[in-house]
Structure 1
């Protein structure tokens, strides 16, 4: 890991304080990053003070005045170079993400690939920031709309995707002409620092202001500064529903914009017409990938009564064969939870659902021994429930899968929708009518609804986000770029008269 850190220009590891680049180095309390893989200290960084925050915002304001004037395709060219720089650093950055966050190495590399993909998407987008042309009701008038950048975009990201979700926002914001100030999770600061080194090198090579990309390491107080700052017109926040409600209220209180990507309590419906050969791997990956720490993790499995016992038995057998251990070892399927607090939440959730009548089919164990010395490794758990109790309706960021039996598709969809969250959902069926019902207005109420693929693993080409307590935000593909710009309607009168709309007469 020392070679990886050196390659990513993160210095003074385990011996002093890594302060990164001068443009954002904090002067506050020291924050230590420990790996959930082995419990070892990876490095330290100084957090930002309010004075440090003000310096970053001031630099961002100055950079925005220059960046907004750069033609969008030229902004896209710089983002293209960022994608190339990420390609060159994919192996090392993926390893750091895996080690600092605890996800499998394949997922760490996949996260960096997601960053590369969004760069490619943003490059094309830089030539497609289209506005509409509309016919005016008035003679010799032309009416159209255009899109302008907003200014500073504040980005608050979570530990489970320590770099990818930031890139979803930043790359689109940059081609739209905005500048970004990033507050990464305090649980994964070094992955963010590595990204900042990569991006700043590209900015320097293109002789554009470093304030285009700001980074502020700190705790929730930094998020509160961003949320309450009128100089930051948009705050994009990814995390828990509790956090999102606080951000949303603060930003709304100053009539700013917020883009919220919050909790998920995602379900897969499996009908009696499903192909179980693809159901099982989809469910297992969705439930145990990233040790259940994805917002799109499969947490509920709603099974038709005719196939319930078959699927249940298959899952228990496969869960018993899962390899749990060091995520940098590609032979392992499941890595650790992020920290011991997450382990406590896992244990508490299982005890509560047992008290509510849940039957533990597999798991419910914190692993110990030399291979699990960090204390963050748990067995993925399967719980059989007869109804959606309060604990089933609650999102627990851990690998706990609830099995629920149903009789009719209407009943299954009602169960699917019967939780406060509305992010991702899926149905497995070879019956066209069942699939179409699930996708209809009377079907899934989630922002993502899939047929014959699982809840986890969204592509960057589609808008990502959900409804209800998931926050209603949309990031990444489709027309999500409009979140980062302001719409302006323009009417041009090229006649010699001044006709008023709606035929109004005003003679003077």
Structure 2
């Protein structure tokens, strides 16, 4: 996923402050850099990330330097099922730190029997939760946001440890959840439909919105907190109960977040199953997709898996909310301000090591500025501070898994075979963990197969274009339609870009990167991105069902088409 992830300025000078720090809703800009630096200095984690494997023979959670994990309620083996009580009878898995591939702790996943029990308890909990007035539900969500605030630094540190993103992004991702909670509190007093005039005397039409019931939430590894937050906070104020299955490789984060929420529900004497958790793999995900008791399934992940999920849900005429892949483009015209283009392309392509769904993977440059922009980008890439995610000065961390490294290498080789030239990067870094060089490739055809393939890695394909018509078509020719951005000063071109013949994406930007959406707008994309919308605007409607209600408050009964029964 990709809405979270702010901080263009941080990819250059240490002294350069983030330009958008005061903008509401841009959560990750607002995390004070000093706070992260203070935590890094105050912890005992410095240096551990690059220690040889021979010195890391035990689980990290058992080492004194990682004792802070226990402040989140984590231990050597954790129960991965919550439905009012903790349990789990499935497979025990181990999660690893991407920065050194050392084991962190273990999680016992859900069995199919655990899933069945959890769904039953969740549906019972809904009977209680649906009776709570929406503003009161908003109060509970406010308390969840406050509880997350109290743990924001330590939970963000876990995100950095288990997912691999840099600390400021890990903390900022938790802030994203907090911000959505704040947003949802206000929304809890505003959701509802209009009262409509009736053509019949003594009648009124009301649009009534009710919760769908049980919302299943399947999230991906790249934003293991924020995406759940978008869904959970909005679904809760709408009157739904939630069943969460996070990515197996970030199971500790799922457990830690659920423990925070469970405490709030317990303190308010509400059923814990309102926010249930079933850690697991494909068996649990398949069960959720096929289960008619799951009234809405929100799925975030790859287009390939998302298609399978959509077909299973559609088979039972269920509802799904899909947030899938993106093959996003930045377009820079000859009149573009290059002082905006270069840092925007850098941030969008390299942030989170290229593992956002809004990552810029294609860079279309007018032929008159192509060489200059590529050269500037190469110099900017050389300044990126690579290192341990825990270091507050580091701006680029590892890929999430070894498999991702192999995918990166495969994509680089394929780009070469198709005629591309690697002008920067292209190799695995010689250091512990899953580090690869951020990479720029030029010389490919705009419709090269590899350029039309989303690779979750920091590979940027740069192309030359001649005119507006062709580059607008090139932007739209990929199967996904998530995010896009244009850089120009031409007002007419800007509005053509925003219009029906312009970008066909769900996020259409001007003079900013493809990453960094605000929570107040609906987030999502078109075509193979899935069509779902989360977070702001009227995305709350996805979590509710609508009824049109006609009320006769007169003593007459005018029938349709003027029919009269004598």
The aligned runs of 1:38-437 (5 Å cut-off) are 38-368=100-430, 372-374=431-433, 376-384=434-442, 385-437=444-496
Q: Which runs of 4+ in 1 moved over 6 A?
A: none
Per the alignment, residue 548 of structure 2 pairs with 489
Deviations 1:414-461 (Å, cap 9, x if unpaired)?
A: 111110110000001111112111111100000000001100111111
CA contact (8 A) 1:24 1:215 kept: no
**CA-to-aligned-CA distance 1:318-358 (integer Å, 9 cap, x gap):** 11222222111122221000111000000001111111111
Secondary structure in 1 matching 2:385: coil
> Which residue in the other structure is 1:479 paired with?
538
Q: Name the stretch that deviates more: 453-462 or 22-31.
A: 22-31
Query: What is the CA–CA distance in structure 1 between the aligned matches of 2:520 and 2:543, rounded to whole Å?
Result: 17
Distance (whole Å) between structure 2 residues aligned to residue 315 and residue 321 of structure 1 = 10
Equivalent residue pairs, number: 500
Alpha-carbon distance in 1 for matches of 2:71, 2:206: 49
1:455-470 alignment to 2 at 5 Å? Answer: 455-470=514-529
- The more displaced of 324-333 and 261-270 is 324-333
Alignment deviations for residues 126-170 of structure 1 (CA, whole Å, 9 cap, x no partner): 000121111111111111111001110000000000110011001
CA shift, 1:6, in A, is: 1.2
The alignment's TM-score, normalised by the length of structure 1, stands at 0.97
**How far apart, in 2, do the equivalents of 1:17 and 1:430 lie?**
54
Does the Cα contact within 8 Å between 2:216 and 2:242 map onto a contact in 1? yes
Please give the secondary structure, in 2, of the residue aligned with 1:187. Answer: helix
- SS of structure 2 residue aligned to 1:137: coil
SS of residue in 2 equivalent to 1:396: coil
2:505 to 435, 446, 450: 446
Unmatched tracts of structure 2, length 5 or more:
1-64
What is the DSSP-based 3-state SS (H/G/I as helix, E as strand, rest coil) of the residue aligned with 1:311?
helix
Aligned counterparts of 2:520 and 2:513: Cα–Cα separation in 1 = 17
The offset of 1:8, in angstroms, is: 0.7
CA distance in 1, matches of 2:79, 2:214: 26
Q: Does the C-alpha gap of structure 1 residues 19 and 482 become closer, same or farther in structure 2, counting only changes over 3 Å?
A: closer
1-structure distance, mates of 2:262, 2:404: 33
SS at match of 2:239: coil
Deviation at 1:221, TM superposition (A): 1.1
- Name 2:33's counterpart in structure 1: none
In the alignment, the residues of structure 2 paired with residue 18 and residue 472 of structure 1 have an alpha-carbon distance, to the nearest angstrom, of: 34
Q: 1:299 to 1:140 in 2, by over 3 A?
A: same
| Structure-2 separation of matches of 1:254 and 1:436 | 41
Aligned equivalent of 1:7: 71
Question: How far does the alpha carbon of each residue in 1:461-482 deviate from its partner, in whole angstroms, 9 at most, with x for none?
Answer: 1000000100000000000000
Task: Work out whether residues 80 and 279 of structure 2, in 8 Å CA contact, stay in contact via their aligned partners in 1.
Answer: no
What is the TM-score of this pair, normalised by structure 2?
0.87
**Could you tell me how far 1:19 is from its partner in structure 2?**
5.2
Displacement of 1:488: 0.9
2:45 corresponds in structure 1 to none
Q: Secondary structure at the match of 2:452?
A: coil
Shift in Å, 1:388: 2.3
CA deviations 1:390-430 (Å, max 9, x no partner) are 11001000000000100101111111111011000000111
Q: Tell me the CA shift for residue 24 of structure 1.
A: 4.1
Say if 1:175 and 1:17 are closer, same or farther in 2 by CA, change over 3 A: closer
**Structure 1: any 5+ residue segments left out of the alignment?**
none
Report the Cα offset of residue 17 of structure 1.
4.8
Q: Give the secondary-structure state (helix, strand or coil) at the position aligned to 1:188.
A: helix
Calculate the aligned-residue CA RMSD, in Å: 1.1
Task: Give me the whole-angstrom Cα distance separating, in 2, the residues matched to 1:354 and 1:281.
Answer: 26
SS at match of 1:453: coil
1:375-400 deviations in Å (ceiling 9; x for gaps): x1000000002332011001000000
**1:24·1:214 contact (CA, 8 Å) conserved in 2?**
no
For residues 5 and 114 of structure 1, the distance between their equivalents in structure 2, rounded to whole angstroms, comes to: 21
